[in-house]
Amino acid sequence: MSEIFKNKKIIVGVTGSIAAYKSAHLVRELKKLGAEVFVIMTPSATEFITPLTLENLSRNPVTVDMFDKNAQSGGAWHIHAANECDLMIIAPCSASTLSKIATGICDNALVTIATALPPEVPLIIAPAMDSTMFLSPAVQRNLKTLLSDGVHIIQPANGELSSGLIGPGRLPEIDILVNEISKILSSKTEISFATNKHYNLESLRSFYENKKVLVTAGPTIEKIDDVRYLTNRSSGKMGYAIAEKSSMLGADVILISGPVKIAPPANVKLINVESAEEMYEASIKNFKSCDFAILSAAVADFTPIVKAQGKMKKEDIGNELTIHLTQTKDILLDISKLRKKSQIVTGFALEHVNEIENGIKKLQRKKCDIIVLNSMSKENSGFETDMNTITILDAKGVIKDYPTMDKSDCALVILESIKNY
């Protein structure tokens, strides 16, 4: 990982949040990895951690005052700083700073630099505040605005907050922040390729605002007995990214999720299910009122005919166990059959040989509008990764390959493909 950070110029913004003390650990870790770190603080941040601490750790002067004479040696210092860095991260980012960046109120050094960043320089924001503030309509509106502007948002972690309440709002652990920075630095070209050339965010927002989107995500669990079950390696990351981006673009999102280990996006109606049957019932029930269905869940193809009560004992079974399976209901096919002319249905396919040919066959067999094809033969594709390499096929004959991208960028590409269908 250190090769990714070597000689990279990273601006770390620190705002007035109780989590500001964690910025010292972030700066130290980035320095250990070989990055050159420059810290910009809001005046409120100095109430939580001193500039001297961050100067010692970064080995560079810390800027708080926008008119600091030491920062003026280069003329338009904020423009130079914004253009000379490789990436800027604001961690923690308070609700106040979030709103200022979203609306362009440049009344301090940190917001001024964030606003002055060129389009090719990634800006990462990690909100940290009490859950009641994070979930407030104002903060959620500002997050949608920032996301539509191409800002990378790291969702806060769930847990105990300084108020004593429990909920979303904690600054994620430092390794999560560093991994996000690493991911964006290493795939900067692909992300720029996706965000700058393959969709118009304002157009997407106009299209999806107030639309209803149904998303399925994650694996299903098919019980053998009350202890054992059949499942697959789906992490749910792709579906959750689609749900998050849809919501940020103004859509009313229903996320039907199998068991996963990731926090749900804010402002999304979450329906938790376990089995393929439960996912089928929830999908059919909710699809009628939706404009779009994006079925990314890895639903089990088979389920045990008999599900034993309690736990089967090994000594009662003997040396061999035969489990009789039956096919589960086909959610994608039945949703496609139910759809009205105005509804668009998107499915997913994971293939390892003759990918395009098999993807087209699935598109035709399932009678859907769009298939997002994942290839098992490509690196950074499919289950359990933060990245994905996709091909999009549609019923009008379009076949479009995309480079490896972060799943959040894949989500926007998929949403753009639906818009253009």
Confidence (pTM): 0.62
Residue 402 confidence (pLDDT): 85
Residue 336 confidence (pLDDT): 97
Range(s) of the domain holding residue 411 = 196-303+322-420
Same structural domain, 202 and 171: no
Residue 2 confidence (pLDDT): 61
Same structural domain, 128 and 67: yes
**What token pair was written down for 329?**
């209901």
Same structural domain, 210 and 158: no
Same structural domain, 204 and 270: yes
Residue 193 confidence (pLDDT): 41
Residue 348 confidence (pLDDT): 96
Q: How far is CA 326 from CA 274, 277, 298, 305, 307, in A?
A: 17, 12, 17, 6, 12
Same structural domain, 64 and 16: yes
Residue 272 lies in a domain: yes
CATH code where residue 26 lies: 3.40.50.1950
DSSP string, 47-93: GTS-HHHHHHHHTSPPB--TT-GGGGGGSSHHHHHHHH-SEEEEEEE
Residue 102 lies in a domain: yes
Residue 140 lies in a domain: yes
- Domain boundary (130, 164, 186) is at 186
Residue 281 lies in a domain: yes
- Domain boundary (186, 220, 255) is at 186
Same structural domain, 151 and 220: no
Same structural domain, 18 and 129: yes
Active site residue 232: yes
Residue 263 lies in a domain: yes
Residue 309 lies in a domain: no
Residue 197 confidence (pLDDT): 43
Residue 199 confidence (pLDDT): 52
Total domains in the fold of the chain: 2
Of the candidates 60, 158, 232, 286, the residue annotated as catalytic is 232
Q: pLDDT tens digits for the chain (421 residues)?
A: 567 888 899 999 999 999 999 999 999 999 999 999 999 999 999 999 999 999 999 999 999 988 776 666 555 777 888 888 999 999 999 999 999 999 999 999 999 999 999 888 899 999 999 989 998 999 999 998 898 788 889 988 888 888 888 888 899 999 989 988 887 887 554 444 444 444 566 788 889 989 999 999 999 999 999 999 999 989 999 999 999 899 888 899 999 999 998 888 878 999 999 999 999 999 999 999 999 999 999 999 999 999 988 998 888 888 888 999 999 999 999 999 999 999 999 999 988 888 899 999 999 999 999 999 988 776 666 676 788 889 999 999 999 988 888 888 889 899 999 999 9
Same structural domain, 102 and 140: yes
For the beta sheet containing 152-153, the strands, ordered from the edge strand earlier in sequence to the opposite edge, are: 36-41, 9-14, 87-93, 123-127, 152-153
Same structural domain, 200 and 182: no
Residue 310 lies in a domain: no
Task: Round to whole Å and give the CA distance between 346 and 414.
Answer: 9
Same structural domain, 378 and 265: yes
- Domain boundary (156, 186, 216) is at 186
CATH code where residue 294 lies: 3.40.50.10300
How many Å separate Cα 409 from the centre of its chain? 8
Residue 210 lies in a domain: yes
Same structural domain, 153 and 290: no
Same structural domain, 244 and 138: no
Residue 361 confidence (pLDDT): 94
Task: Round to whole Å and give the CA distance between 105 and 80.
Answer: 19
